[in-house]
Structure formats: C-alpha cells, structure tokens
Amino acid sequence: MTKINKNYLELQGSYLFSTIAKKVKAFTEANPEKKIIRLGIGDVTRPLTPTIISSLHSAVDEMANKETFRGYAPDLGYEFLRSAIAANDYKMRGCDIEADEIFVSDGAKCDSGNIQEIFGEDNVIAVCDPVYPVYVDSNVMAGRSGKAIEGTGKYSNIIYMPCTKENGFAPECPTEVPDIIYLCFPNNPTGATITKTELQKWVDYANEHDSVIIYDAAYEAYIKDEDVPHSIYECDNAKTCAIELRSFSKNAGFTGVRLGFTVIPKELVRDGVSLHTLWARRHSTKYNGAPYIIQRAGEAVYSDAGKEEIKGLVGYYMTNASYILKGLKDAGYEVYGGVNAPYIWLKTPNNMTSWEFFDHLLETANVVGTPGAGFGPNGEGYFRLTAFGDYNDTVEAISRIQKM
C-alpha cells in the first residue's frame, strides 16, 4: 500500500504567489473594467534585449542542421557558459572560482529548492524572517522543519532570524548554532543589503561552527554601493563554508527563459565528503541540463553588447524603484529597500495587517503587491512592491496610492 510523503501535510496553506494569483483572478472577474497594475510577484516585464534575441535565433538555427545540432548537454552545463560565468562574475571581482565549480541549471528557484537534498534530514536550518518561501517549504517537504506551530506561521525545528527595522533587516548570527544558514542579499523581500564587513562575520561564524551558508545572490546586478559584495566569495575563506545561487532572471530578464547556476567550491567538505561531488551526483541523476539554445543566450549576457543592454534593463527597473521609494515617502509611508535592490518594503499604514493592506490596495488602487506576512511572521505589517513593472504603470500606480 503506497504511503505518501507526510511531510507535505505540514506545509502551511498554499504557496504565497498562487494565493495572490487566485485573489487577483477573482477580483478581475468581478471587475473586468478595472485596470490592474501588478507590482506584486517579482516578474520582469521588459522584453529580452537584441543581443540575447540574436543569440537565441542563431542557436535555434544551429539546431536545424545536422552538423551543428546538439542533443543532451553536458550534465553540469556547457563549458562556454561556465567559463564566461567564472571569468565575468568571479575572476573579475577577484573571486577565485573555477568554471568546474559552477553548475548550470534552469534557475535559482529550482536550485534553492533542490540544494537541501544533499544534506541529511537531521540538520537544523536557519532562515531570515521574513524569507523567500521556497527555502522553508522545500525543507518542510524533506522533513527537516519539525511541526508547524499553530498560529505562528513557524516550524518547531527551524531557527528564525528576525529581520526588523531595528537591525536594518539584516539578522545577527544566532546564538543557537544552525547547521545550514540561508542568506539572501540583496534581500527578497525587504530589499536590504549587507556590507562586506558584515557578511565576513557570517562567513567566520559558519567556518567556526562547520555550518554551511546557502547564499542567494539572485539580485546582485542591482547593487550600486561600493561596500556591498556581489558574491559571498569576496569574503575571506568563504570557499570552505558557502554555496552561492545565481540567476539570469532578474538581470537579463530570463524569468520565462529559465537559467541560473550554483557555485560549490571544491574546498567545501562536510562529514569528510565534498559537497561539490554530492551536487554533481544529484545533478547528473535528477536533472538533464539546461537547453542548449538557452545556455547560448546566457553566454550572450556576458558579451560586451549584452553587458551594456543588461545595464540598461537594470537601470530601467531601478528608475522605477527610485520613483516608488520617493512617491511613497512623499505620501507619508515608511519605506525601506529600493536602493541596491528592486524591492520596496513598506510599513502598512494604520496598523493594517499585510493581507488587509493587500485587499485594500487591490480594491482601492487596483494595484497588486505582496503581503509581507506571506514571507514570515516578522513580515506582518509590511508589504512588498517591486520595481519590475512598466515605468508608466509604476507612475500610475504610485499616483493611485498617493490618492488613497
């Protein structure tokens, strides 16, 4: 008699963005004449840039000819892409990461959900609160979370690291030492960043306690400030304690194209076993490589023309971020983030709960945002807006919010 994975029954409610989608669908059906502006889910809206489009077309043409057709990709990614990543994202920033320490994948969401599989069930994980839900949910599904604590949105066996306005939404190293620490900077959802000095403390802490940091740097392209690190490998000795996750979704607009990568340095060993080897085995058994045409598009991101175009994309969204930040401040809102990150984190007015403000904003301004409470208990009373909208829509949304 088949038994299900009962850990799934511990999952709290349905996945945040599915819930939002359902609420918006219901509102749209009831109010077909209203023009909804979506500043909720972190999905990009600008088209792919000319260099990317051109690389996709030429890779498609290669697939049409017997001589240049490509079947199964190498398990861990094509050499041309891994080398471009190592050179541009790491060597150029002084990080000693080799091409064969890079694992190409179909995106940082998948990697952040799958990476926990190489660790034992008996590890205690620590997450920021608020947090990107995938880190928690994937660990719940794997039986690592303990039981849900009713009414708290928390699990008994997870260490929550509060991110509050008092600590600038960057947590302190916890006194109870976790085995695996999820960090995401620039942060989703708060838009907070961490300085290199502060991140070095985490690296030292992890090395001291033989913990592993899973560092989600999906938003590194939005960093402007000099003292904010783009990679955790800018810190000393990070290669013995850190895994880094990266994405092409938010810099090059690949949310619907799907490409990302994970870095696991060969020096990263636990229980006498190389985590690089474990992830390679996981990748070659349960994954079959990113599509060739899409890996070519990823390579184009690192061309001179590609880099210029990506700067333009990031600049476009950051203009939105600045506009939202200023517009909300002018309207009297308490706002955070939006400087080195495409997310604006605002305090809900009049002590509304996050979901109350979600409904209020949807109904009054027809603007969709993301309730902070969906990211964890310390997100309650906060709300996330994203800079990924169309500029004119963003201006219109802020104008509507200002009139509320």
| Footprint of its own copies on 46-105 (CB under 8 A) | 46-48, 50, 53, 56-57, 60-61, 63-66, 69-73, 75
Cα 282 to Cα 279: distance, rounded to the nearest angstrom: 5
- Smallest gap, in angstroms, from Cβ of residue 199 to its own copies? 19
Sole binder of its own copies in the list 158, 212, 223, 339 (CB under 8 A): 212
CA-to-CA separations, 68 to 12, 40, 296, 300, 334, in angstroms, rounded: 48, 42, 13, 18, 56
List binders of its own copies among 12-51 (CB under 8 A).
14-15, 18, 41, 43-48, 50
Cα 35 to Cα 39: distance, rounded to the nearest angstrom: 13
- Smallest gap, in angstroms, from Cβ of residue 31 to its own copies? 22
By DSSP bridging, strand 212-216 and strand 242-247 are parallel
Helix (H, G, I), strand (E, B) or coil at 147: coil
Strand order from edge to edge, sheet including 212-216: 102-105, 260-263, 242-247, 212-216, 180-184, 125-129, 159-162
Sole binder of its own copies in the list 23, 93, 258, 307 (CB under 8 A): 258
Nearer to its own copies, 107 or 186 (CB): 107
Sole binder of its own copies in the list 126, 161, 192, 293 (CB under 8 A): 293
The angle formed by the CA atoms of residues 370, 372 and 377, to the nearest 5 degrees, is 150
Structure tokens at 342: 């495409």
Sole binder of its own copies in the list 284, 319, 364, 399 (CB under 8 A): 284
Residue whose entry in the numeric block shows the structure tokens 């080195």: 340
3 binds its own copies (CB under 8 A): yes
- Write each residue from 262 to 281 as x if it is in contact with its own copies (CB under 8 A), else as -, in one continuous string: --------xx-x-x--x--x
The angle formed by the CA atoms of residues 220, 249 and 187, to the nearest 5 degrees, is 40
Binding region for its own copies (CB under 8 A) out of 114-122, 182-190, 327-335, 338-346: 114-122
- Smallest gap, in angstroms, from Cβ of residue 48 to its own copies? 5
Helix (H, G, I), strand (E, B) or coil at 18: helix
Residue whose entry in the numeric block shows the structure tokens 């199964």: 72
Sole binder of its own copies in the list 209, 307, 360, 400 (CB under 8 A): 209
Cα 52 to Cα 47: distance, rounded to the nearest angstrom: 10
Sole binder of its own copies in the list 107, 191, 229, 371 (CB under 8 A): 107
Peptide bond into 291 cis (omega under 30): no
- Smallest gap, in angstroms, from Cβ of residue 196 to its own copies? 24
Nearer to its own copies, 126 or 325 (CB): 126
List binders of its own copies among 216-255 (CB under 8 A).
253, 255
List binders of its own copies among 332-371 (CB under 8 A).
none
Sole binder of its own copies in the list 32, 150, 285, 350 (CB under 8 A): 285
List binders of its own copies among 117-136 (CB under 8 A).
117-123, 133-134
The most distant pair of C-alpha atoms in the chain lies apart, rounded to whole Å, by 66
Sole binder of its own copies in the list 109, 246, 296, 384 (CB under 8 A): 109
- Smallest gap, in angstroms, from Cβ of residue 343 to its own copies? 16
List Cβ neighbours of 79 (8 Å cut-off, separation of 6 or more): 99
- Smallest gap, in angstroms, from Cβ of residue 314 to its own copies? 16
Sole binder of its own copies in the list 290, 310, 328, 365 (CB under 8 A): 290
210 binds its own copies (CB under 8 A): yes
Task: Find, among 2, 42, 348, 17, the residue nearest to 191 by Cα.
Answer: 42
141 binds its own copies (CB under 8 A): yes
Residues 8/363, Cβ–Cβ less than 8 Å: no
